[in-house]
Chains A and B, each alone.
Chain A
């Protein structure tokens, strides 16, 4: 983990330097345009730094909010995941279809 932290620090410094070169003088990565940011990241996407950052970003984006990531469940909203401890059928579109057609058939046959 110490190695990963060192690689993160170095990677962030490197990214800051690249951002200065890419944008106007002394620009930060966050101040670059979407296209500039994308191009810069494409240039480093095979690096260990990017791999670590990617992994940590996924963790932070989709973890339980108690870890202080996924604020207001923004990551889960992106996926369409709802965190509940209790669910009831139907769970999805296709089992709902079966349930409703079974209910209709039941009604047709006068089942109580």
Chain B
């Protein structure tokens, strides 16, 4: 192993202990944990290696040119359709259907940082509620209790601010940082919810309210959701895990490295990972084991792209369910304007949440549960507000428009409802049969239509949001239409975890049922969707997976 500027440079023709594909919420954790445990790790990341100083408040670049989302080297579009009997097309003028950031740190760089733990029920709803015909409704092979120590690792090692709420599952340690200061949206949401007898609580956020682990507290600049943090206060893996991984001297991060194939041999073992490097030269990194952490859309894509005569339906896909059961969490948005300025453009998105409707309630007449939060949502930045910020039916130009832009910009807030997603085979990631990217790789095709129960739950939360905002004294309240999602930032369930190799892709230690030295750990591992904030659980799974994988490696069981 050579070093450059103190960083290791591994030879591609010598097998490293682990190649990790993807440096996001899961890949960053696994890189840090495994390199800290003494293993040699190469991380392949298709996006660039940005630092905090590279992040900006530039709406044009970030929100309109999709600077953090685009492939850095070439055009790599995606196609979308609602149902499998439709022909998928590239949606024009909107972000791609699988909405994820490319770059070291992955989507943890641009996320909003809501860090809700799952509840105990999320892991065992099939047992609690019984079967749902025609769906993939199933228990996880692990319990909340098994995952709790790793949720605590996320709290303390990545950095989460919060305060336990009345509905939260038991925790072994308090939050390392107190809640972030409440915003006006949080105050109003809390007031309205309390008036209705609900139990609002401070939002758990992966953003530091005080210095932790050598990182500074949030500066409340307001450019958070969709943007990278210029202060390193948002707990992305770029800010938390990646520097620790590199400090071990055993982890090489290779940015601008796009994986094309995972190669296997006749013995059914993964041998190397083929990728294009920053200069678009083909490379193949040999590895004793590969950990796929590319997200719930890129992970199944890569398994399909790695098909061979031994696995004609894609790698690790003897079950035939790679790519299926995609879950994105349904949402409803309710907006309101108040008499005085809230100035929601300042600070983090969310400071108060309501979890009174988290659990399934048969009295509602449909399956599901959800959480609600108060936030400015997408219109907190000036151009987004000017284009989308006014209530429906208002003018979009002229003198009156200008007056309204001013009136609403500082006085507006939203309540976001996030719900369960019923796992359905008809919702999936496949390779588009026609469209290729500029390098000839079949592109991601998403097929997605929320289950009617998911939309019913989203509407239920919107009805509650209207009541809460009314009780808080809103002057005006308006509803964004509740409809099937066409852009998914939560990419869950496409390589689900389970004990049965015929109905799941990975076992409860994230090892592919079909290949002893291939592990898959990211949102694709989910069996159920939770209530709309998955990243905390993705990272807890990654900490847990790392411990098991390190154990297997030490015992020669890979």
Contact = CB atoms under 8 A, between A and B. Distances in A.
Nearest to B186: A95
Nearest to B396: A54
A87 B398 contact: no
Interface in A43-81: 45, 54-55, 58-59, 61-64, 67, 75-76, 78-81
Contact count band on A: 20 to 34
A89 B181 contact: yes
A95 B387 contact: no
Contact of B59 (A38, A63, A80, A95): A63
Interface string B446-464: 0000000000000000000
Contact of B219 (A63, A85, A92, A95): A85
Interface centre among B57, B182, B338 (most CB of A within 10 A): B182
A41 B181 CA distance: 46
B183 A91 contact: yes
B382 A62 contact: yes
A92 B405 contact: no
B343 A91 contact: yes
Contact of B340 (A55, A62, A75, A92): A92
B188 interface: yes
Nearest to A69: B60
Contact of B60 (A45, A64, A83): A64
A78 B405 contact: yes
Contacts of A76: 382
Contacts of B58: 64
B346 A91 contact: yes
B409 interface: yes
Given A86-B219, A95-B184, A80 B406 contact: yes
Nearest to B339: A93
Contact of B409 (A81, A85, A91): A81
Contacts of A88: 220
Interface in B169-184: 181-184
A14 B397 CA distance: 20
Contacts of B188: 94
Of A85, A86, A97, most buried by chain B (CB within 10 Å of CB) is A85
A63 B230 contact: no
Contacts of B341: 80, 92-93
A87 B396 CA distance: 31
A82 to B, nearest CB: 8
Contacts of A95: 181-184, 186-187
A103 interface: no
Given A93-B340, A94-B184, A94-B187, A81 B345 contact: yes
A112 interface: no
A85 B219 CA distance: 7
Interface string B325-351: 000000000000010111111110000
B182 A98 contact: yes
A111 interface: no
B406 A92 contact: no
Given A45-B397, A79-B405, A84 B221 contact: yes
A92 B343 CA distance: 5
A62 B387 CA distance: 10
A87 B402 contact: no
A54 B347 CA distance: 29
A84 B169 CA distance: 38
A54 to B, nearest CB: 6
A87 B59 contact: no
B183 A63 contact: no
A64 B58 CA distance: 6
Contacts of B220: 86-89, 91
A62 B347 contact: no
B230 A92 contact: no
Contacts of A89: 181-183, 220, 347
A59 B383 CA distance: 6
A87 to B, nearest CB: 4
A86 B397 CA distance: 32
18 contacts: A41-B397, A54-B396, A58-B387, A59-B60, A62-B383, A62-B385, A63-B383, A64-B58, A64-B59, A78-B402, A79-B385, A84-B221, A86-B221, A88-B220, A91-B342, A92-B346, A93-B342, A94-B338
Given A63-B382, A75-B382, A85-B219, 20 more contacts: A55-B387, A58-B386, A59-B383, A62-B385, A64-B59, A64-B60, A75-B386, A76-B382, A86-B221, A91-B183, A91-B220, A91-B346, A92-B184, A92-B340, A92-B343, A92-B410, A94-B184, A94-B188, A94-B340, A95-B184
6 closest Cβ pairs, A-B complex: A92-B184, A93-B340, A62-B382, A89-B181, A94-B184, A92-B343
